[in-house]
Chains A and B, each alone.
Chain A
Amino acid sequence: MSIECLLLGAGQEVGKSCVVATIGGKRIMFDCGMHMGYHDHRHYPDFARALALWGAPDFTTAISCVVITHFHLDHIGALPYFTEVCGYDGPIYMTYPTKALAPFMLEDYRKVTMDRRGEEEQYSYEDILRCMKKVIPLDLKQTVHVDKDLVIRAYYAGHVLGAAMIYAKVGDAAMVYTGDYNMTPDRHLGAAQIDHLKLDLLITESTYAKTIRDSRHAREREFLKAVHKCVSGGGKVLIPTFALGRAQELCMLLDDYWERMSLKVPIYFSAGLTIQANMYYKMLIGWTSQKIKDSHAVHNPFDFKHVCHFERSFINNPGPCVLFATPGMISGGFSLEAFKKWAPSEKNLITLPGYCVAGTVGHKLMSGKPTRINLDKDTHIDVRCQIHQLAFSPHTDSKGIMDLIEFLSPKHVILVHGEKPQMAFLKERIESELGMPCYYPGNNESVSIPTTKNLKMSATERFITSCAAEQGKRRGHKGNLVCGASVSEVIGSSEDMDVAEGILLMNKQKAPKILCDDELAEVLGMERHLVQFEPMVSRIEAAVQSELQRAKAADSGSEGNE
């Protein structure tokens, strides 16, 4: 048996994650994402090509199930297209939070692209709703029997609210697809968590295949120091951020710091943020970090103590404050408005998210130290404020990837969702340090992984008894040896395995059975025969000749040593 892995996306690139694994006749699609960097046919995975390859009449018969790991568009963006346009009608699995949050992400994006480019509509809002209706929600560690043979289970992945790693098993063949994950917890999400599983294959993301990040504490410290310095100097802090995730993370950090330092400077959330945060996080508390889970009964950590009521006019108020505003890349909206007001004063501070799309104000600020930004022909902003680059990321680093692989110890590893040179580097490390074969196929390439097959068999009582006696003897021997031995020998000798000898009897009608060699005749119901040979002189001569020659060869080979 084998696992056939076809990459429809995220092969040697970051974007449109989509992997189809075929295990024992079952075809599972992991993630169904879009690539936001392309607007041509590369935008979606090449479903048609895959269908032709499989030679199936339609997607519903070709694919047993679709599993989505989390709500990021590069993991779910193509799902409405796949179901409503391509016509897939089979089961779709995702976690509760993903199911709750995905429609908003999808609709947001649909609107943005339509407004911006007037692109032809790939799918409508109704399509999204119809698609989401078909979704079957998953709980963590819940074992779902998709059908008689296929079992899937979700594990906590960190990364974003509701992100999961997926375990899939058909017969004896088992694999894990990680999606995006984070091995270190942050303030609001826990670290990825998975059991020791016997795996033939692990498909892991490799966004940071080569980077080892320093500790989160250092990043937090730098951030707090910058903010504290700014507000104690009477300045204003603008934190442009995405609506979900990072905003809550940073606000928890600040809220806690404010509490400890008993700071009185107000923290504001621009309107849209508070509503979303409270709604989702309070609802999905079970998916957050341990600390939050422990404490939310007493105090919901998303009811921020130091966050004050905000009105747009406050932007003109004097005195220090901290403002969270969307959108994250200062591409417009309220964060741009605040930026225009505050950037000219050197007392103020603007933080920038880790990644900004080219063309946005955020991107301009990141590249070099501009003193003036031209919004359009008539509007210029003088930038004299401090700028602090945030370095938070929800992805695991290369150390985390290695740690997960080492912990799971799968027989094979496939890297996806990364950049080719870095993946090559990581593959090298995995093969040399962990001794596991590793692949990083490109898009539309496939890899075949052999799997183990366990065979159930019975054994005769005599065989078990003799094995056990043998084992006991060996243990005893080993023990004696160890008592007198030096430590180095002990460490070296940990490799030996107990070996038992017997005969495996396989018969078409009956289950296979192991027995001792002297039991064979009895089990087969046959008598013991003795065969004797008359020695033949010519054979013996030939044997002696060849023996002599071999000895001679050996002699000449070892002369140097004498």
Chain B
Amino acid sequence: MADPDVLSSAYPAAASSSVRKHPAPLDDSLAASSDGGPSFAKRPKAATEPPTPGGSAASPEVDVLALVSLTAGIYPLARAEALRGLSEVVERADASCSVGSGIVECSYECAVELMRDEDEGVRLAVVRLVGACAQKFSARVDADANGYGDLMDIIFLQLSFMARDMCTQVRIEAFSALGKMQQVSEGVLLQSLSKKVIKTDTMCGSIINGQKLPPKLKIPCAAGVFSHGIEDEFYQVRTVACQSLGALAKFSKQYAEKALDLLMDMMNDDTRAVRLQTLQALFQMATYGCLSVQEKHMHMFLGLLVDTSALIRDAARKILGLVTLPKLQMFKSAVDGLVTSLEKNPEEQDLYGILFSIGKNHGSFSANIAKHLAKEITMASDGELILDKPRVKALLIVSISAPFSNDKHKKLDIPSAIFSHAISLLGKVSCALGDVNQDLLLSYLCHKSGMPFWENRSISAEFGESESCSVQTMEIGAHIENTAKATKCVDEAIVMQSMKAILETVEGAWTMRMSCNICEVRTILRTCKEELNVLAESSSGSIGAFLSFLCEYLDATQLIIEIWQLIQLDNSYTFGLTSVEILLEKLDISIRRMECCFVGLNRELEVQVLELSLIAHLFRLSNIGVCKVVLGKLLQVINRLEGLSADGSYELSGLSGEIKKAFDDNLTGVNLISNIHTLFELFRLKPTTDFGMLKAIRAVLQVSDNDSENPSSYVSGLPVGVSFNIFLWNISSHHKLWIRMTIGESVQFTFLDFSCFGCNDDMKSGSMVAPLYATPMVCSFVLRVCLVMECPYGGNSTHWGGHGGPSDCVVQLSDELDVYFVSTWQS
């Protein structure tokens, strides 16, 4: 072996020339595509370039084979470049088809062989490739389930091995790949935390007592990879390790507990970026509900609350606002810590919100605090208890949060003295609750404190001008237990915070779309959507509506990125031509849902939706070529955007402006298609967080007394009635709803007249019997039914099959139901 220094200096020149000088190593069929060697990797990026004559006929398999053979070369730069090429191919491969999965498997095998390569650059490329393959594998595991679990474990261990590399870059890459792993068995996850090898049976990955055991650790240094990662010399590595450590916590409770211990230790790290990242990981764990703080962690948490960095303090507080503490002692020390923090930084008022939510999360503990506080209040003679003291204020907030807690089964009686004192903190309390109506709050507090409540009396003088409350006539009774509503408000504050964080991530991801790392963007968007879904499920009202709007919005964004990638590729070897169309159709539906299924879209939101539909129409143009109908629709959208900006308070975005200009210049559509790259560049993803009084249109359809065990009977050929219970939310009289009933290919629409439905706040409900006119001549069938709504912006009125159904532009409002029928005449 020659001296490595000498060798490495000779690499750059030798690498490229060697490939060209010796085409001989490859037989003829391969030579054509491998001639370009390393430059192959860049080819898919240059989308507009016409395919090279030599490579046009080549299938991806041939490319892959050529690249694979290059990875066995003797020049490290060439090997690394070949591996990077494979990563590109893998990222574009569709793992669900056999060709695609073959490519992924082949590339993975190739990467594994080079895991111990002498060259750092090669090892770096190996990690990236293995990471990309793992994501493809896990996508496939979703599709065809069983058998690949072990593979994911093996990949996890291989990446763990790479995470112990001597090269910093390799370690960073390996840790980030580890954080994206899925379907890893618990044993392997636990092993990644402990340097000591957890003894397992010799049986490889066998299942004992229903618990899956990890495959026997063939690479001893893969053990405890996270313990090593968080001790790494380079903060970049530690940051990524913390991130991944937290990201994997959602998969296993046991792992989460142990990971927490490691993460808590990171709070003493000497680099602030690492500490912040750790807190973020903890916050994420808390959001997923897998953060269980124990007594031994309290010292660290309390330290964080008085950290000199405001960012750290803020992050630590947010986490405390989400966790559940198992012991009263811990709860008290947490509250004390928050009080100390408040005393040191009195300007940080959001602390009251945290105090409220931590109190709310621990109802009985707060009640305990309240009891002591009440005693303190009664014992203190008038002057002594100064309400200005931050401590007393804080404890009052905690105390009044108790009735809002979820421990409904416990009767928490809070001394009325607490409430009467809390009245003087009205502003703070309402702020802590996230801008709840102060009038409501006041009446609630007054009621709780046993004070008489005066009608129409302005008490503003007592609270200062800024907190003026003109209390209207209100029935105290109606607001006595307004707890539910107030609780919601608190949740809202937290939800808003996490939502904003998510949206920031989305914006960040969007800016990455151009840097060609589509796979990563996709993953980020998917995770964001998951997180939003979690939030959406637990909220209601406007914010709930907005969260579901955002879910839809992310869906559309993801589709746009997906379509854009396909359009850019201009190459349909992994996707049929139709897949763009399918995706476009999906995008249309998604946009339509945003347009139609929400009431009270404010201008920002409406502009957002319209911009999405601009993009959708542009994509359609580029897909099918110039088309009058699409151009017409495009013009319609532009006109609406212009209308919105008519009052001058809002300016057309770059994208809309450009398209408008194209229309003004008498467009043919050709210029739009040829400019699509520039136009797409102009598109800005700017999700607003201002949602006003957004409401979601929702519907639930139920069929009474019918399931597969208990089918309805009918006489074939004759009409049959189906009776429905229908619940509608936020539907008003101008909406046109239809019941869609499908048997196989044939569809029947029945118009829904809900004018007679009972009305309760935002919800209408009623039942009706819809006739199904043409029952099939079979002995049994399944009817699929759902509620659809006509889009107000549907435009053209071509009717469905001439049967007088809805316009062809509908959105589905309810889930599709199966109704089972069985013929009474058994033939």
Q: Interface residues, chain A, CB within 8 Å of chain B?
A: 143, 151, 169, 172, 174, 184-185, 187, 190-191, 193-198, 212-218, 220-221, 224-225, 252-253, 256-257, 259-262, 289-291, 397, 399, 402-403, 406-407, 409, 429, 433-434, 454, 464-465, 468-469, 471-473, 475-476, 479, 482-485, 487, 490-491, 493-494
- Say whether A260 contacts B221, CB under 8 Å: no
Q: Could you tell me if B308 and A260 are in contact, using CB atoms closer than 8 angstroms? A: yes
What are 6 A-B interface contacts by the 8 Å CB criterion?
A195-B166, A217-B266, A260-B308, A402-B220, A476-B65, A491-B109
Option from B22, B27, B112 in Cβ contact (under 8 Å) with A494: B112
B281 contacts the other chain (CB 8 A): no
Encoded as 1 (CB less than 8 Å from any A CB) or 0, chain B from 1 to 44 comes to 10111000000000000000010111101100000000000000
Contact flag A212-B196 (CB < 8 Å), given A221-B265, A479-B64, A482-B109: yes
Min CB distance B75 to A, Å, is 15
Residues of A with C-beta under 8 A to B303: 260-261
Query: Which of B98, B119, B221 is close to A402, meaning CB atoms less than 8 Å apart?
Result: B221
Residues of A contacting B102 in the complex (Cβ-Cβ under 8 angstroms)? 482-484
Distance in angstroms between the alpha carbons of A434 and B108 in the assembled complex? 23
**A475–B69 contact, CB under 8 A?**
yes
Given contacts A290-B233, A491-B151, 14 further A-B contacts (CB under 8 A): A143-B3, A193-B166, A196-B117, A197-B4, A252-B270, A260-B307, A291-B271, A407-B221, A475-B69, A479-B61, A483-B102, A487-B105, A490-B108, A491-B112
A483–B166 touching, CB < 8 Å: no
CA distance A293 to B269 in the complex (A): 17
Interface centre among A220, A454, A487 (most CB of B within 10 A): A487
Closest A residue, CB atoms, query B233: A185
From B222-230, B527-535, B602-610, the one touching the partner chain is B222-230
**Judging by beta carbons under 8 Å apart, are A215 and B230 in contact?**
yes
Residues of A within 8 A of B633 (CB): none
Minimum CB–CB distance for B520 against chain A, Å: 24
Rounded to whole Å, the gap between the CB of B737 and the closest CB of chain A is: 50
A2 → chain B, closest Cβ, in Å? 17
The CA-CA distance from A487 to B263 in the complex, in Å, is 35
Is B426 part of the contact surface with A, judged by Cβ < 8 Å?
Answer: no
B458 → chain A, closest Cβ, in Å? 46
Contacts of B116 in A (CB 8 A): 196, 409
Question: Smallest Cβ distance from A453 to chain B, in angstroms?
Answer: 11
Given known A-B contacts A291-B271, A494-B109, A143 and B65 have beta carbons under 8 A apart: no
Q: Is the CB of A184 within 8 A of B164?
A: no
Q: How far is the CB of A500 from chain B (nearest CB, A)?
A: 12
Contact of B270 among A198, A256, A397 (CB under 8 A): A256
Q: Does B637 contact A (CB under 8 A)?
A: no
B219: chain A residues within 8 A (beta carbon): 406
- Minimum CB distance partner of B226 in chain A: A215
Q: How far is the CB of A384 from chain B (nearest CB, A)?
A: 24
Q: Please report the C-alpha to C-alpha distance between residue A434 and residue B266 in the assembled complex, in whole angstroms.
A: 32
Closest to B119 in A: A196
Contacts of B568 in A (CB 8 A): none
Q: Return B675 CB to nearest CB of chain A, in Å.
A: 40
CA distance A491 to B152 in the complex (A): 13
Distance between Cα atoms of A484 and B103 in the complex (Å)? 10
Looking at the complex, which one of B4, B29, B109, B165 makes contact with A490 (CB distance below 8 Å)? B109
Contact A399 to B221, CB < 8 A, known contacts A184-B228, A261-B306, A479-B64: yes
Residue numbers in B under 8 Å from A196 (CB-CB): 116-119, 166
- Smallest distance from the beta carbon of B582 to chain A beta carbons, Å? 26
On whether the beta carbons of A216 and B231 are closer than 8 Å, the reply is yes
CB neighbours (8 Å) of B154 from chain A are 491
Q: Are B271 and A484 in contact (CB under 8 A)?
A: no
Q: Assess whether B27 is in contact with A472, with CB atoms less than 8 Å apart.
A: yes
**Chain B, 227-270, contact with A by CB distance < 8 Å: what is the 0/1 string?**
11011111100000000000000000000000000101110111
* Given A433-B220, A479-B106, A407 contacting B113 (CB threshold 8 A): no
Interface residues of B in 148-171 (CB under 8 A from A): 148, 151, 154, 164-166
Which residues of B have CB within 8 Å of A402?
Answer: 220-221
Write the chain A residue with the least CB distance to B304: A260
The answer on a CB contact under 8 Å between A215 and B109 is no
B195 at the interface (CB under 8 A from A): yes
B220 touching A195, Cβ below 8 Å = no
A289 CA to B195 CA in the complex, in Å?
Answer: 23
Chain A nearest CB from B80 CB (Å) reads: 14
Residues in chain B near residue A472, CB distance under 8 A: 25-27, 30, 69
Identify the interface centre among A213, A260, A409, A465: most chain B CB within 10 Å of its CB: A260
* Contact (Cβ within 8 A) B227 A215: yes
Partner of A191, one of B99, B113, B233: B233
In the assembled complex, the Cα of A491 lies from the Cα of B30 at a distance in Å of 25
- Give the residues in chain A near B264, CB-CB below 8 Å: 221
Given contacts A291-B270, A472-B30, contact A261 B25 (CB under 8 A): no
State the CA gap A469–B30 with chains docked (Å). Answer: 11
What 9 A-B pairs are tightest by C-beta distance, nearest first? A483-B102, A217-B265, A468-B25, A185-B233, A472-B27, A403-B221, A479-B65, A196-B118, A482-B106
CB-CB under 8 A from B586, the residues of chain A are: none
In the complex, chain B residues whose CB is within 8 Å of the CB of A262: 306, 308
Does B300 touch A at the CB level, under 8 Å?
A: yes
Check B224–A185 contact: CB distance below 8 A. no
Most interface-central of B29, B61, B102, B221 (chain A CB within 10 A): B221
Find out whether the CB atom of B300 lies under 8 angstroms from the CB atom of A143.
no
A472 nearest in chain B by CB position:
B27
Q: Which of A174, A187, A476 has most B Cβ within 10 Å?
A: A476
Interchain CA distance A76-B106 in the complex, whole Å = 53
Question: Is the Cβ of B271 less than 8 Å from the Cβ of A471?
Answer: no
One of A169, A174, A218, A485 near B265 (C-beta < 8 A): A218
Give B681 Cβ to nearest chain A Cβ, in Å. 36
CB-CB under 8 A from B99, the residues of chain A are 483
Q: Does B500 contact A (CB under 8 A)?
A: no
CB neighbours (8 Å) of B25 from chain A are 468, 471-472
Q: Contact between A399 and B195 (Cβ–Cβ < 8 Å)? A: yes
A293 CB to closest chain B CB (Å) equals 10
- In the complex, which residues of chain B have a beta carbon less than 8 angstroms from the beta carbon of A491? 109, 112, 151, 154
| Smallest CB separation, B528 vs chain A (Å) | 31
For A184, list chain B residues within 8 Å (CB).
228, 231
Shortest CB-to-CB span from B741 to chain A, Å, is 44
Given A212-B195, A402-B220, A472-B25; A217-B268 close (CB under 8 Å): yes
Task: Give the residue among A194, A216, A483 with the most B Cβ atoms within 10 A.
Answer: A483
Any A CB within 8 A of the CB of B299:
yes
> Closest CB of chain A to B279's CB: distance in Å?
13
Whether B188 is near chain A, meaning CB under 8 Å from some CB there, is: no
B164 touches A407 (CB 8 A): yes
B432: chain A residues at CB < 8 Å are: none
Nearest-CB distance from A215 to chain B (Å)? Answer: 5
Residue pair A479, B68 in contact (C-beta under 8 Å): yes
Q: Which residue of B lies closest to A229 (CB)?
A: B299
Given contacts A143-B3, A291-B235, A487-B148, contact A221 B300 (CB under 8 A): yes
Looking at A187, A259, A491, the one whose CB has the most chain B CB atoms below 10 A away is: A491
| Cα A224 to Cα B78 with chains together (Å) | 50
In the assembled complex, which residues on chain B have CB atoms less than 8 Å from the CB atom of A259?
308
Q: Which residues of B contact A218 (CB under 8 A)?
A: 265
Q: How far is the CB of A125 from chain B (nearest CB, A)?
A: 38
Q: How far is the CB of B287 from chain A (nearest CB, A)?
A: 24
Q: CA separation between A475 and B268, bound complex, in Å?
A: 52
A185, A252, A475: residue with the most chain B Cβ atoms closer than 10 Å: A475
Interface residues of B in 107-149 (CB under 8 A from A): 108-109, 112-113, 116-119, 148
| Residue of A151, A214, A454 contacting most chain B CB atoms (<10 Å) | A214
Closest CB of chain B to A537's CB: distance in Å?
49
CB A278 to nearest CB in B, in angstroms, measures 20
Closest partner residue, chain B, to A405 (CB atom): B221
Complex formed: what's the CA distance from A433 to B300 in Å?
39
Which residue, of B116, B234, B269, has the highest number of chain A Cβ atoms within 10 A?
B234
Bound complex: CA A184 to CA B231 (Å): 7
